[in-house]
Structure formats: structure tokens, C-alpha cells
Chain A
Amino acid sequence: MTKVFVRFGLGIAPILISLAITALIIILVGAEPGAVFQSVLEGAFRSTNAVGGVINFWIPLVLVCMGLIVTFTAGLWNIGAEGQMVMGAIAASFIARSLGESLPNAVLIPLEIVAAMLGGGAWAALAGFLKMRLGINEIFGGVALNALANLFTVHLIAGPWQPPEGGSAQSTAPFADAALYPRLSPEYPFSLTALIIAVVVIVLIVLALRGTRWGLQLKATGKNAKSALLLGVPTTQSVMSAFIVCGVLAGIAGSYRVLLTYGSLRPFASGGIGFLALLVVLVASTRAVWAAAIAFVFAVILGGSTRLRVALQLDQSLAGVLQGLLVLCVLLADGLRQRLGLGEERADG
């Protein structure tokens, strides 16, 4: 009975502790924790528009989370998810720019999504190639490719994809309306199509990882690639496919950022979601539904904190502090759990 209690405690404790430390920081800067938390929650749900904003952040975040769960299962640290988002965004932007005036929305959206999948998938395949063929650790490869992707964006905006105001602009010209993900309604400014895609992806990932040979082979490769190879698993193919799946999902996420959130291509269009997703997956381990839930919590915190400056003269970065603390506390609790010998709580499944 005590063990159950301790287990539960270790699960809840990180959340409580991170909230407590954040509250302490708030007090130290002279504000009132209760008011801050309330403001954040209210901010996230204050209007349908705000809720729409939360969903708009959640959709790309959860897509990348699902992709990262696949790569984590295969034992990879796919830091390059951020760059894969950017390349997906660029690919979608290409379609939006070239065909945005000439094709209807119903045709453009699928084309853009496919382009984004190809862009993100190819960029991820490149990271995979660097790792499998040239032995370059995917963290180094990912960081390098992330930087390249952003440089490429800047080059496009300053050069071939210049907006009318010239090469010093912050983004391309806005895309034609037909090229954008259609919003559900003025009150709910998110794309229902994309939301459905996100939910379908979550279900597919859960099913694929648990019920397919591909998923089992990924898991085997991730835990012991040498043994997996000897047992007959095509480990190289497994790893490459994990990269590509993640790249594809990150690409779609990137397309959402430029075709709805921003309506144009700009540097860092991915908004750090690639890295935030890593944090989410660290907390959720390889449990997809948990990742979706935690991603939602993060989206709420971020969405609600945009008003902190206005409402309470507090910087928005407080949200980042809370998120970072949460991840840190979860990882510490995990370590404590292992030390107490309570076993592999954060196992897959």
C-alpha cells in the first residue's frame, strides 16, 4: 500500500514542486502567484479566439511530439525536428507562392501538405543518412541541419522570395487566401482539417507502435541495435524509417505554422516547437496519449501567458520557466524512482 502511495506521490510531486518554485519566483519579483496563475488560465480560455490560439499551438506541437516518440522509440535524439519543420514550411510555402493564385483551396491544401511531408521527410532522411552512413551522431547532424534550414529561410526571404517592400523585410508577402488552411469560423480561428489530421496521427502512432512489426522492430533497435540485427531486424531500414516518419510529421506541423499561424514564411517559423516537443516527450516518455495531454497543458500555459505583460506587467518568459521547471522536476522524480527501486515506471506502452 505504501508503494502505491509513493508511486502516486512521485507522479504528482514534480507538478506540485514546479508550481511551487514558480510561485516563489513570482513572489520574488513582486507579484502575486494566485493572480498570475489565474491570469494564465483566464488568458488561455478568455475567448473563443484565445481557445483557438491554444489549439493552433497544440496542433503542430502534438504532430512533432508524435514524430519524436517514433524516433525516441528507435533510440534516437532527433534534435533536428526543428529544421524538419522549417523545411516542411518552406516546401508548403513554395506551393502556396507558385499556385496560390491559380488553384482552389480544396486542391491546394492537399498539395501543400504533400509538399510539406516531402520537405520534412527529405530533411530528416538527410539526418538519417549522415548518421547511418557517415556515423555522424544525430544530435550534431540535427543541430547543423537546423541552422542550415533557417539560413535557407533567411536567404529566400531576402532574395528570391522577397516581398514588395524589399529584401530587408521580416517575411515573405502574405500568401493568397486560397493557399491557407481554412479557419473553422471567425470565432474559432483554427483549422478543423488540421485538427482532425492531428487526432488521426495520434491514433495511428499509438496503433503503429504497439501493433505493427515496424513498431516492434523500432523498439528492438532502440533498446539494443546489435542484438536486434542478430535477431534478424533490418536495423538500418528501421532507423531511416523512423527519421522519415518524424520528418514527415514535423513537415506537416511546419506547414501549419506558415499556412495558418503566420500566413507567410518567416525565419524561425517553427517557433521553437521542435524543441518544446522534445521536452514534452521527455516528460511523457513514449506514451502517446500522455504526450498529447502534456502538449495541451503546455499550449494552455503559453497561450495564457501572452497576456501577462498586459495584465500584470510580467514577462511572458515566465511560462517558459514553468515548463522548464516541470521537465526538470519530472526527470528528477524519475531518477528518484529508479533509485528507490520502484522500477521502470516510464517504460513504453
Chain B
Amino acid sequence: MNIDLRHIHKRFGAVKANEDISLSLKNGRIVGVLGENGAGKSTLMKILAGYQQPDTGQIVVDGHEVVFHSPLEAIAHGVGMLQQDPLDVGSFTVAENFTYGLPGGVTLSRRAAAVQLRQITARFGFDLDPDLPVSDLSIGQRQQAEIVRLLALGVKTLILDEPTTGISAEQKTLLFDALKSLAQTDGMSVLLVSHKLEDVIALCDEVVVLRAGRVVGAAEMPMSAEALVELMFGQGLTTRTHEPIPLGSSVVAVDNLHIRAKRVSVRDFSLHMRAGEVVGLAGLDGSGQELILRACAGLIKPSGGSVSIGGRDMTGKSYRDYIAAGIAFGAAGRTEEGLIAGLTLTEHIALTSTHGALIDWGGAAALTATQLEQYNVRGVPTSPIENLSGGNQQRLLMALMPQNAVLMALEQPTRGLDVDSARWIWTQLLARRAQGTAILFTSPDLDELVTYSDRIVVCFAGRHCEVPTWGGITLDSLGHLIGGQF
């Protein structure tokens, strides 16, 4: 199946998301679409997958011009997209999710569907229990289930939007093997949208680079990371290093924490942090680091042990008490657990950063303008936050966090961000650290963990192991620890 995108234009109000984009996708090829946040990658993929209509331009499939009015039509033509957040039904089981969209008559052939499900998952070595509800799966497994579902629907062109965000290294290997097999053996075409250079280098046959809505370069692989970066940013990356700072007094004391959850239990976790310290929590998806982080922020009540923030015993207290004690928490899901869709930027600032029973909208607007400038958020204060790109949303979230927090607990602070945006976020975080804020964060990115943490705590199946970083640590040894080889 050969797909041509010709002269695609798409604008959202004043923003030109895609400007005159032309792209060719041939049988059996894996094409990487690279670009920083806001470059237009997601928009282009949504157009190809039928979620959006281009303003002008054509989509040509095997020589015929087609128009996709909906994702269903796209799938009927064999084009399917795996979104960053898979479109599954949480309360359905894996088998039910697989079955409900399959074409067929009035009656449901569960047995035939179950057989098909088993065949496809076995082929790729995915470990999916068909009777488990989807809400119990990790993101990586949900992705696998979604891929299986799309394959069963007869998809011949698979688009993946930032698929390696939030999945473990093991799952990434499985995914990439599956994609290679699909391309080489089945002749499928694969479009990989990513800002992660190492993924594109590992997987793709050719690469297309988008910047500010246009195609700025296309090349056959292999290419070096430096060459790719130059294509993406027009200049080489500068690696900035920061120096260790003198740490203050103890501000966080977690002792013998026990947390019981559905799929993993954290046993006997202790951590003491001092003002200005940055501690990274590492581990495979579902190893317990997310639970630890949320317990430190007061969102989860541990079943045993104690948590003390700023010298005060906070065990068993409510989240609002934790906020009063100086916690700032940032969730991974920006729009599910952080920003409020439907509210404008000014309303967010008024909600979190102004005080008083009556809202001074003039003052809030002025404060918003200041904050937007300081945090480099590109957006209109009176428009709702859904209109912001992911990077700008993350920056806004930073602006909403209290300035002088005792502890910042952050879930994947640079999730889904490009290199520049990520580095900007860390500049902010390091600035806060210099003012005495302790920072505790989780990240699946080993580079990030090693670059920014003073210490890393590796979690595996509820156990943990602490590793200092200033003495020098290799990514390799860290990888082994994360794999459970304590």
C-alpha cells in the first residue's frame, strides 16, 4: 500500500499547523517523522488517520485520491493510528476491547475473536491476559492490545504517535521487533512520530523532519544523532552541566513506608531528603516508584510507615494538609490531572495564584501576562488551555506550582516534550532547587535521571536500591539495576 500526502495545509485559527507538507510512504518501509513540540507532527498524523480534515491538499492511496471523513473510513482503507493514549475502554477486558470493533453481523463470535487475539499476540510475544480489564494494564501493554486490535481490523499502514513515551525498555524492544516484522514480513508501512532520536535511529529506514509546520529535511537512514539534530534544530545541541550545590537541612523523612496496591506492593521504603536535593525514582513501569511519589505528595495513604515534610509528621493527613506543608505535585497526565479543560489560562492563574474571596480579574490578567512571559508559555490568556501544545501546557503547569515549595514531587516532568522544552523545564527546576526546594521525580528516561539527579533510587517489584550519581555511574549499570539485578 503506497500513500502520498500532497501539499497538505491545515491551520487552527492563527496557527499554521501544517504548511504545504508532502510525504510519501511506501510498502514495507518504516518512516520516522521527527520534530520538536509544536512542529506539526501530530496534526499531520491525525489528518492521515482521519481524525481531522486538511484545509487543502490530497491524500492519495495506491494512486486513488481519497478523503477520510472519519477514523473509521481511514481504517476501512487500511490506515490506522496508535495514539499516545490508546483509545480503549478501561472497564472492558482485553478480549472485549479486541472484539467490540470487529466487523461482523448481529451475533458476536467470541471464540473466533479469542483465537485471532491469541494468534496475533503470540506472533509478537506480547504478554496479554485476555481476561484482564484494560485499566489494569500498563501503558505499554495497552499499546500492544491496541496494535493487535488494529491489525485484526486489516490495517496496512500503521501510524504511531510517540509510542515509546511511558513504556519500559523491554516493552520498547518488543514493540520495535513487532514493527520490523510487520514491515519486512507483511510489507506494512509504518509511520513513527517521535522526538526521540535514539528510537528513530534504531528503527527507521528513512526520516522526515518537520519544523514549524513545514518539512525541512528528508533523508535515508542511517544518520548520526548529530546530523539528525542539525536537521531538527538547525544547530548542534549544547550539553549543559550544572554543579552540585551545598544541601540544606533535612526536609523530607520517609520511614519504613508500606504501600499496598493492585499489582505491586512497596515494602519498607525509606528516604531522607535535604533542601536542594534532587532525587530521581527509576524503574520499569509498575515497579512502585509512582506509588512512592504519590505517597510522598500525600495523594496515597500508606498502609504502614511514616512521612514527614518540613519536620511535620504528615502520616495519614489529607492532600490539602500536604499542600499547606509545602508540597507541589505534578502528575504525568497534564490534562487529566493538572490542567482543567474548559478553563482559560487566566482562570487557572486566578485559581492557584491569587487570593481573596473576590477575584480581581484585572490583577489576575496582569499576573497571567507576567507568568506567561516568565515561563515562556505561548498562548492567549483568554483562550482555554486545550488550545495549548503539550510543551506549553507543561510550562503553564510549572507557572501554577507554588514558588517556594518544600518538596516538588513530579511524575515524568518532561513527558512528551522535545529536547529544548525538556531542558527548559529542568532549568526552572534547578533554579528552584537553588532556592532550597527538594525535588523528587520519576522518569523512564535514563539520560534524564543520570543528568539531573543527585541520587537515584531504583525500584523493582516493590524493592528498591539507592545509587548516588555524582561519583559517576554508567547508563549500562543503571539499566541492569532497573532490570532487577540489585
Contact = CB atoms under 8 A, between A and B. Distances in A.
Interface in A34-75: none
Contacts of A211: 358-359, 361
Interface in B400-453: 400
Contact of B323 (A213, A227, A232): A232
A223 B341 contact: yes
Interface string A205-226: 0000001111111011001101
23 contacts: A211-B361, A212-B357, A213-B356, A213-B357, A214-B357, A216-B347, A219-B347, A223-B340, A223-B343, A224-B336, A224-B340, A227-B337, A227-B340, A228-B351, A229-B319, A230-B319, A230-B329, A230-B337, A231-B348, A231-B352, A232-B320, A232-B352, A233-B351
B289 to A, nearest CB: 19
A163 interface: no
B351 A216 contact: yes
Given A216-B347, A231-B400, A226 B337 contact: yes
B71 to A, nearest CB: 16
Interface of B: 319-320, 323, 329, 331, 335-343, 347-348, 350-352, 356-359, 361, 400
Which residue among B335, B336, B356, B358 has the maximum number of chain A CB atoms within 10 Å of its CB? B358
Contacts of A347: 342
A224 B351 contact: no
Could you say which interface size class chain A belongs to? Answer: 20 to 34
Given A214-B357, A231-B338, A231-B340, 11 more contacts: A211-B359, A211-B361, A213-B358, A213-B359, A216-B359, A220-B340, A224-B342, A227-B336, A230-B319, A230-B338, A234-B320
Interface in A227-286: 227-234
Contacts of A233: 351
A229 B351 CA distance: 11
B359 A227 contact: no
A230 B351 CA distance: 12
Contacts of A226: 336-337
A231 B356 CA distance: 16
A37 B96 CA distance: 54
Contacts of A229: 319
Contacts of A231: 338, 340, 348, 351-352, 400
Which secondary structure characterizes the binding site on chain A? helix
Contacts of B350: 216
The 6 nearest A-B residue pairs measured at CB: A223-B342, A224-B340, A227-B340, A223-B340, A226-B337, A231-B352
B331 A230 contact: yes
Nearest to B401: A231
Given A212-B357, A229-B319, A230-B331, A224 B352 contact: no
Contacts of B336: 224, 226-227
Nearest to B320: A234
Nearest to B330: A230
A224 B340 CA distance: 6
Nearest to A226: B337
A224 B350 CA distance: 16
Contacts of A216: 347, 350-351, 359
B356 A219 contact: no
A233 B336 CA distance: 15
Contacts of A224: 336, 339-342
Contacts of B343: 219-220, 223
Contacts of A227: 335-340
A217 B357 CA distance: 11
A56 B103 CA distance: 58
Contacts of B352: 231-232
A219 B329 CA distance: 21
Interface in A182-216: 211-216
Nearest to A225: B340
B291 to A, nearest CB: 17
A345 to B, nearest CB: 14
B42 to A, nearest CB: 18
A330 to B, nearest CB: 20
A215 B347 CA distance: 11
Contacts of B340: 220, 223-224, 227-228, 231
A223 to B, nearest CB: 4
A228 B336 CA distance: 10
B351 A217 contact: yes
Contact of A212 (B320, B337, B347, B358): B358
Nearest to A348: B342
A214 B357 CA distance: 7
A230 B397 CA distance: 11
A226 B319 CA distance: 12
B250 to A, nearest CB: 25
Nearest to B319: A229
Nearest to A229: B319
Nearest to B350: A216
Nearest to B356: A213
A233 B338 CA distance: 12
Interface in A289-344: 344
A214 to B, nearest CB: 7
Contacts of B329: 230
B339 to A, nearest CB: 6
Nearest to A215: B359
Given A211-B359, A230-B329, A220 B341 contact: no
A219 to B, nearest CB: 7
A344 B383 CA distance: 12
Which residue among A213, A216, A227 has the maximum number of chain B CB atoms within 10 Å of its CB? A227
